[in-house]
């Protein structure tokens, strides 16, 4: 087969009639001073729970999201006419929520963000069930409601979402986003609420429960990339996609075979669990392994598991490679070092952070935006014929 024929075959993987919903993403760099207040997202108040909540349990723990030094978010609408909100599209949770005009008077985040007004929507349907999500930095409490969702120009999907009434966390106060739209599996959803992605498929607005992220990590550009619902755009990546099966369908968890630092250090030597999480900025791993990694690349330890890198050393640093699905995915120092220029001062932060996730879910690695900015991820929930999987391919350079 000729190279041109092979390329045409690869580009034809997505059906021509597939409905693709494109949501532009924006990225805000929040600066190093906000790192510590947000650290609680990576510190579970209780051990991680995977699996359906027990009967009568109206809360679910979502400790993996870490909106740290960059926030990727996009616009959605709720109600008729649509009330617009900025939401983080988070593969580490499965509920949609936004602040409510009915929120508690002392809930500061409500006053700093857009709020949903049920009286301004002709399609609003009350539900009234109370819900709560426990984050590392505090609880999010509210009530469930039902209304129409507008996303990427598609309208008419009737979804159950949370109206946040009480947000005691500093995380939400300083966040540039209003709420969160979860793209995890139904198992993680509070109160068994059907996730928005499932609703779009159920109502025929999406051909299949597949979505993909194309993230732009250039801090000088406001363009944050694109979320594609219903499939993927081959223009975003260099084919072919390498598919890796999901091992536990709650978070997007896969098996990672090995991690190598240059040619001299092997981590995750016996294989380990990894989670692909768009809500996590960095790549995290067990403390001892991340410490060994930074010894190899000359990282200088800071607080909360973070490390500094000498900017002048970037050209000499070794690649860090991840073996997934039998294929090596390499990150160069340009990929894994976050370079920040402020007021003529250049600061270089390591894209690797120590984070110990306790059993039974841990120990595990979290492949966040440092990884997902270099490799496009296609999240495929599967169907009756096939199990869930994640496809990975090198992202095309911007403007290519």
What's the pLDDT at 346? Answer: 86
19 or 314, higher pLDDT: 314
Place of tokens 């270089």: 348
What local confidence, expressed as pLDDT, does residue 37 receive? 24
Q: Give the model confidence (pLDDT) of 356-365 as tens digits.
A: 988 888 899 9
pLDDT band at 132 (very low <50, low <70, confident <90, very high): confident
What whole-number percentage of the chain has pLDDT above 70? 76
Most distant CA pair in the chain: distance in Å? 67
Distance CA 72, CA 77 (A): 17
- Amino acid 2: pLDDT: 42
**7: pLDDT strictly greater than 70:** no
Tokens 């978010």, residue located? 73
Residue 48 has pLDDT above 50, yes or no: no
Position with higher pLDDT, 137 vs 291: 291
Taking residues 308-330, report their average pLDDT: 96
Average pLDDT over residues 275-282: 87
Q: What is the DSSP letter of 219?
A: T
Q: Is the peptide bond before 363 cis (omega within 30 degrees of 0)?
A: yes
Is the model's pLDDT at 275 over the cut of 70? yes
Element (H, E) at 108: helix 108-112
Residue 68 has a pLDDT of 39
CA separation (Å) from 115 to 51, 72, 84, 101, 326? Answer: 31, 20, 9, 5, 46
pLDDT band at 28 (very low <50, low <70, confident <90, very high): low
pTM tops 0.75: yes
* Mean pLDDT value across residues 18-22: 79
Q: What are phi and psi of 334, to 5 degrees?
A: -65, -30
pLDDT at 378: 97
What local confidence, expressed as pLDDT, does residue 135 receive? 60
Give the confidence band of 218 by pLDDT, cuts at 50, 70, 90.
low
Report the pLDDT averaged over residues 125-144.
Answer: 81
Which stretch of DSSP H or E encloses residue 388?
none
Tell me the per-residue pLDDT of 182-208, one tens digit each, with 9 for 90 and over.
999 999 888 889 999 999 999 999 989
Look at the chain and count its residues. 400
Q: Is the pLDDT of residue 180 over 80?
A: yes
Query: If you average pLDDT over residues 44-52, what whole number do you get?
Result: 31
pLDDT at position 300 is 93
The mean of the pLDDT values for the chain is 80
- pLDDT band, residue 170 (cuts 50/70/90): low
What is the reported pLDDT for 339?
86
* Predicted pLDDT at 298: 94
110 in helix, strand or coil?
helix
Higher pLDDT, 11 or 172: 172
pLDDT confidence of 167, banded at 50, 70, 90? Answer: low
Q: What sign for the dihedral angle of Cα 83, 87, 93, 98?
A: negative
Give CA–CA dist 236/214, Å, rounded.
7
- pLDDT for 173: 62
List the catalytic residues: 90, 277
pLDDT of residue 6: 39
Between CA 291 and CA 307 the distance in angstroms is 9
Give the pLDDT score at 164.
Answer: 87
| Predicted local confidence at residue 296, as pLDDT | 96
Q: What pLDDT does 90 receive?
A: 87
């Amino acid at each position: 087969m000729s190279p041109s024929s092979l390329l045409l075959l690869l580009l034809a993987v997505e059906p021509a009639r597939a409905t693709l919903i494109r949501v532009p993403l924006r990225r805000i760099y929040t600066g190093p001073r906000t790192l510590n207040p947000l650290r609680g997202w990576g510190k579970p108040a209780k051990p991680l729970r995977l699996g359906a909540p027990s009967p009568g349990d109206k809360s679910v723990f979502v400790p993996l999201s870490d909106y740290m030094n960059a926030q990727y978010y996009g616009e959605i609408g709720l109600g008729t006419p649509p009330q617009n909100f900025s939401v983080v599209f988070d593969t580490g949770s499965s509920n949609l929520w936004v602040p409510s005009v009915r929120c508690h008077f002392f809930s500061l985040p409500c006053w700093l963000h857009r709020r949903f007004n049920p009286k301004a929507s002709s399609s609003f349907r009350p539900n009234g069930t109370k819900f709560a999500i426990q984050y590392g930095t505090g609880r999010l409490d509210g009530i469930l409601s039902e209304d129409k969702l507008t996303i990427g120009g598609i309208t008419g999907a009737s979804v159950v979402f949370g109206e946040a009434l009480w947000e005691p966390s500093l995380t939400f106060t300083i966040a540039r986003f209003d709420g969160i739209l979860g793209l995890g599996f139904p198992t993680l959803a509070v109160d068994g609420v059907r996730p928005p992605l499932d609703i779009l498929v159920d109502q025929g607005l999406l051909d299949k429960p597949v979505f993909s992220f194309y993230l732009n990590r250039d801090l000088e550009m406001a363009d944050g990339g694109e979320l594609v619902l219903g499939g993927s755009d081959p223009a975003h990546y260099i084919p072919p996609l390498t598919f890796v099966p999901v091992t536990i369908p709650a978070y997007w968890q896969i098996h990672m075979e090995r991690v190598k630092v240059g040619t001299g250090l092997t981590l995750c030597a016996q294989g380990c669990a990894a989670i692909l999480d768009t809500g996590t900025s960095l790549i995290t791993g067990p403390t001892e392994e991340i410490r060994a990694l930074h010894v190899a690349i000359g990282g200088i330890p800071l607080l909360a598991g973070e490390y500094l890198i000498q900017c002048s050393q970037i050209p000499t640093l070794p690649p860090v490679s991840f073996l997934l699905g039998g294929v090596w995915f390499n990150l160069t120092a340009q990929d894994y070092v976050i370079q920040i220029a402020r007021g003529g001062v250049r600061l270089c932060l390591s894209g690797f952070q120590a984070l110990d996730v306790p059993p039974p879910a841990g120990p595990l690695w979290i492949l966040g935006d440092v990884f997902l900015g270099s490799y496009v991820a296609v999240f495929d929930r599967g169907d009756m014929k096939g199990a869930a999987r994640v496809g990975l391919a090198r992202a095309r350079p911007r403007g290519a």
